[in-house]
Each structure stands twice: as C-alpha cells, then as structure tokens.
Chains A and B, each alone.
Chain A
Amino acid sequence: MEHFFNDYTFRTVTLGAATLGAISGALGTFAVLRRQSLLGDAVSHAALPGVGLAFIITGSKAPLILMVGAGLAGWLATVAVLAIIATTRIKYDGALGFVLSVFFGIGLVLLTFIQKFPNASQAGLDSFLFGQAAALVEQDVVTMAVLGGLALVVLVLFWKEFKILSFDPEFANSLVLPVRWLDLGLTTLLVVAIVIGLQTVGVVLMSAMIIAPAAAARQWTDNLGIMVLISMVIGALSGVGGALLSTSTSNLPTGPTIVLCASGVVIVSVIIAPRRGLVWEQIRRTLQARRLRSEAILLDLFELARKHDSLGHPHMEAALKIMHPHASTLRRQLRSLHSKGLISLHSTGAWALTQEGINACEKLLAKRVS
C-alpha cells in the first residue's frame, strides 16, 4: 500500500480521479434532479470538435486550452439542443441524439485532419476520446482542481436560486428570478464539470460520472445539501477506488474501472439505502402485511363475539379459519396475538378476546370510521 502512495503516477491519478469524482458528483446532482442526465452525454461527445479546433487554432496541447475549447463546444451543443426544441416540434431526445452525433462526427473529421499535421502527433488528443488517466500530470490535476473549485464557488453563491430553479422553475419565474440566465448558468457549470473529467475518463464514459454519484446519493437523503455532499463523497470514493483497482491489476483501464465502481455504488444504494432502499421497502411491506392480517383476525373474533352476550365469548380456530383467507399463517398470528395479551386460550381450545383485546378492537374500529 505504502509504495503506491509514494508512486508519483499513482498519486496523481488518484488525486485527479478523486477531484473529478467530487466535482462531477456535486454538479451532476442538479443534472439528475432536473432530468438532464443525458445532456451530460451529449455535452461530453460534443466537446470533441472543441478539443480539435482549440488544437488547430493554438497548436498547443496545454490542458487548459483544450478544456476551454471543449467547454465552448459543449456549451454550444447545449444551446443548439435548446434552440432546436424551441423552434421546431422535435423533442428533447431527438435534439440530443442529433447534436451529440453530428458534433462528434465533426470532431472526428477534425481529428483525422490533425493527424496529417507535420508538427504534432495526435496522441495527446486521443486521450480525450477514451480517457487516459495514466497520462495525467500534476499540472492537469491542478487545472482540474482550480476550475472545479471555481464551479463549486459559483454553485455555493447561487445556491438558493439554483435550488428553486431545480425543484420549481415556475415558482422561480414568479419570484422574478432571471430563470433563463440561471438555467444557462447551471448548464454552464455542468459543462465545466464534464470538461474537467474528459481527459481522465473520456467522452463516452464521462456521462456516467455525472449521473452515477448523484443517482446513488439520491437514495440516501431527501435534502439537497446533503445529497450534494454525499454525491461528492461517492464520486471521489469511486475515483479513488477505480484508480486503486486499476493500478494494482494489470490491463485494467482506469476510466472504465472508475465508472464500474460508481455504478456498483448505485446498485448497492438502490438496494440497501435506509427508507428508500428496495430491501427496506420489502421489510416494510412484510411487516405491514403481517400487522394487517393480525388486525383482521382480531376484528373477526370481535365480530363473532358480538353475536353473543359477552364480547369475551370464545370461538374455535376452525370458525376463524373459514372467515380468514390467510389460513396458513392463522396459527402463528393467533400465537402472536396471544403473546401480546390481546386474546386468551380457553381450556376447550377456543380463543377469546381479553379486555385489552376488546379495547384494541374498539380503537381500530373508531379509527376506521373516522
């Protein structure tokens, strides 16, 4: 373990992955809540021509310059999607798919164009396509951290506005908030988050880094602030986990490993998260069904006894069996009611309501009437 942390490449990759995970986790939260999960996919594909153009214009492979190019192209893509929806009857999904593939195609044309440049190999740009975490250097991580930090600062500054926009845009509009500008601002932040991660995980898998931490975090809380924090932690942990796994195993590419880690967290969260998790729901359902069944038995006994002079009049199990559809669990339910002191077993083998049981029945009936 220790030699890992002393290893420069490993440290850089892990730090980079953690940074990108945290930032995409924070901003992805808003994308997922606003049903813009697939916008991330479109933006990351659409960033490719920006990378190519930035290189053609400047001739530089400095990460900041390529990121600016990618960001501008990604931003233009979101504007194009919005414009298509606004001016035609084409729906969101069609506009996304169209913009994504056409931008990507133009990016491919530019990349093949660059291949023919005498002064530069394409190698540095290829990493944007599929991501090359191992090629990260310290300067990349610093750039990522600074850009991401700025995005987070903006997020905190406009926290209240973004919150209203995400949950109730019409209310935001009625408050005379500049909804269009806020919308654009939040989308721009998403573009920044995507651009930061492109070099590490590549255009195809970057969308997963936007969606997965947020989708997982959603299971654990109903509070936006806490959700953002959990999402950041999940993103960062997936980054570190993926980097660790891929460094300690040969031939395990970092980007896909990070994405699989994040997807794993989503599955685990969907299953076990308290309250929302599928396991808890199953437990809740079982308990509720059991409670309803025992209540039904209790009320059946009450109903039977009402036909006699005393509410404590005993009845045989066989009589209950006829009335009760869940006959297989009847014995168990009776025992559990008995142990709660709501019914008593007579020497004849018949069951009768105790005073406590009668009270419980009356309370239940009163509740049903109201």
Chain B
Amino acid sequence: MSPFQLEIQLVAAVVAVACALPGTFLVLRQMAMMSDAISHAILPGIVIGFFLTGNLSSPILILGGAATGLLTVVLVEWMRKTNRVREDAAIGLVFSALFATGVILIARYAGDVHLDTDAVLLGELAFAPFDRLEIAGYDLGPQSLYSTGSVGLLCAAFIMLFYKELKLATFDSALCATLGFLPGLLHYALMGLISMTAVAAFDAVGSILVVALMVGPPISAYLLTNRLDRMILYSILLAVTAAVSGYWIAYLLDASIAGCMAAIVGVQFGILLCVAPNQGLLAAWQRRKRQRWQFAIKMLVIHLLQHEGTPEAERECRVDHLQEHLAWEKPFAANVVSRAAAQRLLYPVGESLELTVTGRELAREAIVHH
C-alpha cells in the first residue's frame, strides 16, 4: 500500500465518520432528503466562495456553503409556512433552483478554472492527496484531511455536548420545547453542521456520496438496534467499512471511488435487511414460522384438554382424528404432534394422545389469554 493509497483511505474514512454522525439524527428526524437538498444547494455558495478566494479548499468556501445550506433550510421553511406549497415540493423547488443558479454561475464566469459541475456532483477522491497542506515548508498531509477532519470533530463535539438535548428533540420535540430546550435552534444547528459537512466533503467525494454516507449507514444501523448510542456507533463502523472497502473495490475495478463506496453502502443495507436480528427479513420469516407452529401446538393442547376425561376422549384424542376436527393435513398434524411431544407437552398412548402437566398448564393459560 503506497502512502497515497493510505491517505486516500484516511480521507475517505474521516468523511464517512463526519457524514454518519449528523446523518443518524437526520434519519431519525425523518429529514433524510434534506441531505440531498443541502448537498446540491451548497453549489452557489461554493462557487461564490471560490470566486472570492480562488482556492477550492479555503475555509471561506465552507462558510459560504454552510450559509447557502442554511438559506435552503430557511427558504424551505418559509415556503412551507405560506401554506401554498407542501414541504416535499418546497424542498425539491428550493434545492434545484439553487443548484441551477450554481451551474449557471460556473458556466458564465468560471469557464476555464478548476471548478465544474462534475467535480461537485461526483468528486474525485483519487486527487485528494495532491492538494497538500504545507506550513513553513513542512508537508502536513492532504488538505482535505484537515478540512473534513475539523468538520468531523465539530460534529462529534456538538453531538457529545448536546447529546441529551438532541435525543430529546429527536424523539419528543414537544417535550423538548416545554422544557425550554429550543428544538428550533437545535434544528438549525444540526442543519448548519450538515451543510458544513457537505461542503467539506464535496471536494473529496461529491455531493451524491455525501447523501449515501449520511443516509445509508444510519438506516442500516437502524435495522440493528433501538438505542441511539449504539445506532451512532454502528453507523460510524458501517460508514468507515464502506469507505475503505469501497476504495479497494474501486481500485480493483479501476472505477469511480465515490460510486463504489455508495454501492457498498447499498450492499451493506441489503445484507443487513436480510440477516439483521429482529428487524431482518430472515428473522421476521423465522418468527412467523415459529408463531405458526406455536399456534398449532396451542390449538392441539386446547383440543386435548377440552376432551380430556370425557367419554368421547378416546375418539377425539387420536392423531388421525385431528385431520377432520382441526382440518389439518396428515403430515402437518404429525409434525405438530411430534413438536409438541418434543416440548414434553403430551405423549402418545397407543393411538391416542395424553397431555402432560406442562401441556395442561399451557392449554389453560392459552384459554385465559385468548
């Protein structure tokens, strides 16, 4: 592994963490599409910042982009408040108008500088190590590592400082407001962070990967846990894994790094969707299957209990009678009986079935509960 490769992966991992941190709250607050809106809408802010400084990694760009990001939030809010346009339409309108403005600014005034729409939308991580931070002649590593790193630290600091407040605002905004925690202010602070992260990351990975990293790992983590702290932790782990493995796959295929990372984010979700405990499709399927057998066993023990000790018990409690009485197919009935016997709920006596003490208890409990 060359130092360049290491640096690329480092930048990718830092971007992944910086995106996953605020992204978790975005997903939980049901505002995931704001990441898409903001990551597009920052374009005019970046362009104007670039015209002012002539440098794509200047901190002024981050501020300009963050300002446009907040402008997006304010404009969406304003349009929604007029009650003339619904929120989803407002989001779509505002970000595309801002993005269009950015594209036009580039086309008209930035004809031959290093700034084109491709770069913003797609990013090129492979170039990240070429733009280096040098202080007094010392090479301190790629500049984007510092810009994304500082935004990532800012996100981490914000979340650690306001963890309780954010948690409250996310899960019970009304309570948060009554306790005097200003959920509106937290909302804007979070949106500001999202904007800054999006600007810092766009140069390296492009705006679409920002969306993938902000939304993908948190929704995957959401499949794994019900706890906020675990969800943040899993999001970070998933995001970093996607970033690093995406890089290597891109390297092997010689394809777009950002694209491969996004694809890995998709694969992660696909796998977790299948195998996640509790939330996963496989777990749900097994649960349904288990419930089906459990229900059949309960039916059987209730049936046996009903006829236990009655004159027709001998006829009713025979295995082949279950087929007509409970309308069970023969193999199914045999399967239920053997499962119930394995759980020591009943035992066969000749042709008929006899309940055990536990079987009787289960039957009585089931009758009371239903």
Contact = CB atoms under 8 A, between A and B. Distances in A.
Interface of A: 32, 35-38, 40-41, 45, 84, 87-98, 100-109, 111-113, 116, 129-130, 204-205, 207-208, 210-212, 214-215, 218-219, 251-253, 255-257, 259-260, 263, 266, 270, 276, 278
Return the 4 tightest CB-CB contacts between A and B, nearest first: A105-B262, A108-B259, A102-B266, A208-B96
Interface in B327-353: none
Contacts of B263: 102, 105-106, 109
B93 A204 contact: no
A270 B85 contact: yes
Contacts, number: 204
A32 B89 contact: yes
B36 interface: yes
Nearest to A249: B108
B89 A102 contact: no
B101 interface: yes
B260 interface: yes
Contact of B35 (A97, A102, A129, A208): A97
A97 B211 contact: yes
Contacts of A207: 92, 96
Contacts of B208: 45, 100-101, 104-105, 108
Contacts of A215: 85, 89, 93
B101 A101 contact: no
Contacts of B305: none
Contact of A105 (B104, B253, B259): B259
A208 B256 CA distance: 27
Contacts of B32: 91, 93-94, 96-98
A256 B262 contact: no
Q: Which of B33, B261, B265 counts the most A-chain CB atoms under 10 A from its CB?
A: B33
Given A101-B209, A208-B100, A260-B101, A113 B253 contact: yes
A89 B220 CA distance: 11
B130 to A, nearest CB: 19
Contacts of B261: 105
A90 B33 contact: no
Tell me the interface secondary structure of chain B in the complex: helix
Interface string B74-98: 0000010010111011011100110
A247 to B, nearest CB: 14
Contact of B260 (A109, A270, A276): A109
Contact of A252 (B88, B104, B253): B104
B273 A37 contact: no
A94 B219 contact: yes
15 contacts: A38-B36, A87-B281, A89-B222, A91-B30, A94-B32, A98-B265, A101-B209, A102-B265, A104-B262, A108-B256, A109-B259, A111-B256, A113-B255, A205-B103, A210-B92
A278 B82 contact: yes
A266 B82 CA distance: 13
Nearest to A28: B89
A211 B266 contact: no
A101 B262 contact: yes
Contacts of A41: 33, 36, 92
Contacts of B219: 90, 94-95, 98
A35 B88 contact: yes
A284 B360 CA distance: 75
B265 A105 contact: yes
A97 B93 contact: no
Interface string B31-49: 1110110001000000000
A101 B216 contact: yes
Nearest to A39: B88
Contact of B88 (A37, A97, A204, A278): A37
Contacts of A260: 97, 100-101, 104
A40 B82 CA distance: 23
A129 B92 contact: no
A211 B89 contact: yes
Q: Which of B40, B96, B261 counts the most A-chain CB atoms under 10 A from its CB?
A: B96
A103 B250 CA distance: 16
A248 B3 CA distance: 51
Contacts of A89: 222, 279
Interface string B265-302: 11001000100000101001000000000000000000
Contacts of A38: 33, 36, 88, 91-92
A259 B91 contact: no
B187 to A, nearest CB: 15
Contacts of A106: 259, 262-263, 266
A105 B212 contact: yes
Nearest to B84: A270
A94 B211 CA distance: 10
B91 to A, nearest CB: 6
Nearest to B212: A101
B30 to A, nearest CB: 5
A229 B279 CA distance: 45
Nearest to B121: A204
A257 B212 contact: no
B32 to A, nearest CB: 4
Given A45-B208, A112-B255, A205-B100, 20 more contacts: A38-B88, A40-B92, A87-B273, A89-B222, A90-B27, A90-B219, A90-B223, A94-B222, A97-B35, A101-B211, A102-B216, A104-B259, A105-B258, A106-B263, A108-B122, A204-B40, A212-B93, A215-B93, A257-B104, A270-B84
A162 B188 CA distance: 39
